[in-house]
Amino acid sequence: MKTNKQDTTELVIEGASCASCVGKIETALKNINGVNRAEMNLALQTVSVDGSVATDVLIKAIEAVGYKAKSTNDASDDELLDEKEIADQKYYSGLMNKVWIALGLGIPMMLYGMLGGPMTVETNLERVVWLFIGVLCAGIMYFSGKHFYVGAWKSLVNHNANMDTLIALGTGTAWLYSMIVVLFPMALPEMARHVYFEATAMIIGLINLGLALEVKAKGRTSEAIKRLIGLQEKTARVVRDNKEIDIAIEQVLLNDIVRIRPGGKIPVDGIVMQGHSTIDESMLTGEPMPVEKVTGDKVVAGTLNKSGSILFKATHIGKDTALAQIINMVKRAQNSKPPIGRLADVIAAYFVPTIMIISIASALIWLNWGPDPTVAFAVISATTVLIIACPCALGLATPMSVMVGIGKAAEAGVLIRNGEALQTASKITSMILDKTGTITEGAPKVTDVVIADDSYTENQILTTLASLEKGSEHPLAQAIVDSAVERKLELGEVSDFQAITGMGVQANIDDKHLLFGNKKLMLTNEVALNDYVSQAQDLADEAKTPMYFAINKKLVAIVAVADPIKQDSIAAIKRLQMSGIQVVMITGDNSATANAVAKKVGISQVYSEVLPEDKSRKVAELQAQGEIVGMTGDGINDAPALALANVGFAIGTGTDVAIESADITLMRGSLHGLADAIAISKATLSNIKQNLFGAFIYNAAGVPLAAGVLYPFFGILLNPVIAGAAMAFSSLTVVSNANRLRLFKAKDH
Amino acid sequence: MMIINIVGFLFIGLIVWWFWLYKPAETEATKENRIKVVVNNGIYQPARIKVKAGTPALIEFVREDTSPCGAMVLFPDFEISEELSLKQSKLIELPAMVAGEYPFHCQMQMYKGLLIVE
């Protein structure tokens, strides 16, 4: 389910305090041309405006009646990111201060204990010293651990439990027990008069350290999105009132004429009105070759103008540019969960209360059946169980890898819609490729001109043929005209043009009689073909359509037209097959052409002469055979098949892609994107599995160990400080492992 | 010892009841189907929110919590995930929904809330 986009602007109002203010503000807004609705919520101090009016116009109108206003969503992605970085940095330094203070007390105490110093309360002097340390420790709990206790309390009263709950309970228990030992030593057996202040201080210090390092590591997982956001230009040079002015990107309006100079970045999406240039779109599509742009071509925000100066008309601005939509989609996808993470989610939801129960049960077991001093053992095991359990590692395992994996894919020009598509893509066993536009370029081109009469040059032949065919709407005729235009040939006029159904065309030009068509046309007109028939057959075997051209009943040339196979289709298909995927070709074309193309690209399974509506049936057939089917098509004709397939891949050339139409969108035409998408999915999934495995094993082994299951056999009981360190670094390990994915490289191609 | 055991079991019972069985009251949306949720001290306040079915709902999140854990809110059922900036309000528009319960939470599910659509 997706939200519908609306032209609603939300503004926050300052200074409105009464019902009459509401009326004033609403009237001021409604008086603006283009505002359909303006409703103020006095309680929330916000106003919601429907209509197609720029935000700054609305703000000015509100300011004119004496109030201040700002947009709720007005910060650009760039600003949000900067803000987030500043906030994260501040949070990091705050945490590090807490770390030093806590460890400053914890480490000396721990060393004292490790070097044989008594951590027990036997004499009055020891009581005084430990009381002093206990109070100091309380100070540390307040300064370095206040956020855990406040968080724990707030969640508790809201019937919720989280990591804070565990830390607060664990460290609180250790401190409280130690204080009882200090204040009322006589209440406990002599062997149990042991203090654990060092555990409290060390655990608080270590967990804060883990959190701080995690903030740093997490920052790196969002590098891909940062790079995309960084592509957004901040200013634009627009032509207004015949003058070129530089304005902030937010102020660019639809249909503004924007000037881009060489080396400039395209600020908004548009259509070239004047000039020509080459534009580097690699940052969005992964396509390394710059694309030539002339009048009428689309340009996309975030891409780089290489050579010429152009003027273009803004067609999409703000949140509607392809770049903004890509950023949005990547962001959304990065936070979606693949099904593999669901079990961890279910566990995470019950985790903390379960750990609390295990902690109590463990304490009871020690108290009932443990050796002396039972109280001390019970406290240690209860505390250690609370401290070692790490819900964060479980919670982080999936989202961190998804974040890096989807970002990595975006860098390669592959947009993955959500975590589910990512997971399914890694399991594809069969890949159906549409022929036209997917394996091939999608536009027929003249591939061969075999000259039979040396008195004509190739250009002369193409000029004559293009003049002959320019009135025809046949796609093959179009290929010939395109080829002449590409060579900048000047076309002439023909007379007596006649299309002969099923055979070809004939016409006259400069007293010459032209025949252009198939073998039948030539034979009917008694044109001698000699051994050119076999040459034509050779071309047909290569999936080309050969046509004979005769002037005054003498064969002049054979011209072959074909939809050429994309340069890297063969290599990309091989990559797919090497990774164990069965590749199937599907096409509406006749079987001769289909088989020839399939043979060339190394596909053995071909469905030819398939009507568009039957493509989805083929997907279903494969699925019925137990295959997990990926379908790759252009996203328009193939929509039903794309939707039915386990994963639909829409292939686009350039940035003109329907992002919402498929599970995975390939921003460039190359099928390597397909192999990349699958390779990244596989790498991400295995990363998630490693993380989940690590997190499960950590908790499954750590909690019983902390409860003391090894004690009856080996006399081993975990120290709470070790548990604190393990807990602090378990989630860091998960984040770091996810970061490893950043180094992933799809195979060279 | 008996007493300690009983107290221990009572505590376990209390945990089960407090965290799993007890359902706290919901906060209802305004008549415009809009509601404000403050993110602070590791929780959403209110955490159980009720909106009307069949019409889009607006949820305004205000993040007061400096912890990065509070920086993201997810509505997995609607494929919505939004970044929350510190000390700023963020409006999340939810589509018209069918009646049911839809959880929302932070990335790690440590901050949890429930959206009740009726």
HSE-CB of A404 using CA atoms within 13 angstroms? 29
* Contact assessment for residue A177 and residue A197, using Cβ atoms and an 8 Å cutoff: no
Along chain B (118 residues), what's the average pLDDT of each consecutive run of 10 residues?
93 93 85 88 89 90 85 85 83 89 85 90
Amino acid at position B23, single letter: K
Look at residue A42 in the predicted model and tell me its pLDDT.
67
Q: Strands, E, within A553-598: which ranges?
A: 554-562, 582-586
pLDDT digits (tens, 9 = 90+) for A219-240: 777 778 888 888 888 889 998 8
With a threshold of 0.90, tell me whether the complex ipTM lies above it. no
CB-based burial label for A705 (10 Å; 0-12, 13-18, 19+): buried
Q: Of the candidates A163, A353, A418, which has its C-beta nearest B15's C-beta?
A: A353
Q: Which H or E run contains A36?
A: strand A35-41
Residue closest to A260 by CA, chosen among A323, A297, A315, A304: A304
Contacts of B68 (CB under 8 A, 6+ apart): A87, A88, A91, A215, A218
Q: Give me the active site residues of A, please.
A: 434
Residues of A in contact with B94 (CB under 8 A): 3
The alpha-helical segments, DSSP class H, found in A579-625 are: 591-601, 615-624
Cα separation, A654 vs A674, in Å, equals 15
Residues of A in contact with B91 (CB under 8 A): 10, 72-73
Cα separation, A209 vs A141, in Å, equals 15
Residue closest to A336 by CA, chosen among B78, B111, B76, B102: B76
Contacts of A130 (CB under 8 A, 6+ apart): A121, A178, A181, A182, A195, A197
Residues of A in contact with B61 (CB under 8 A): none
Residue closest to A324 by CA, chosen among A580, A659, A651, A612: A659
Q: A353, B110: Cβ pair inside 8 Å? A: no
Cα separation, A432 vs A421, in Å, equals 16
Write phi, then psi, for A556 (nearest 5 degrees).
-110, -40
**Rounded to a whole number, what is the distance in Å from the CA of B71 to chain A's nearest CA?**
9
Look at residue A541 in the predicted model and tell me its pLDDT.
82
Look at residue A609 in the predicted model and tell me its pLDDT.
83
Question: Which tokens belong to A525?
Answer: 């007109």
**Rounded to a whole number, what is the distance in Å from the CA of B50 to chain A's nearest CA?**
16
* Contact assessment for residue A159 and residue B79, using Cβ atoms and an 8 Å cutoff: no
Residues of chain A with pLDDT under 70: 1-7, 17, 42-45, 72-77, 473, 635-637, 653-661, 747-749
**Rounded to a whole number, what is the distance in Å from the CA of B99 to chain A's nearest CA?**
14
Within 10 angstroms of residue A540's Cβ, the number of other Cβ atoms is 16
pLDDT digits (tens, 9 = 90+) for A645-654: 999 998 875 4
Residues of B in contact with A345 (CB under 8 A): 109
Look at residue A1 in the predicted model and tell me its pLDDT.
32
Residue closest to A314 by CA, chosen among A262, A264, A258, A265: A258
Beta carbon pairs, A and B, within 8 Å:
151
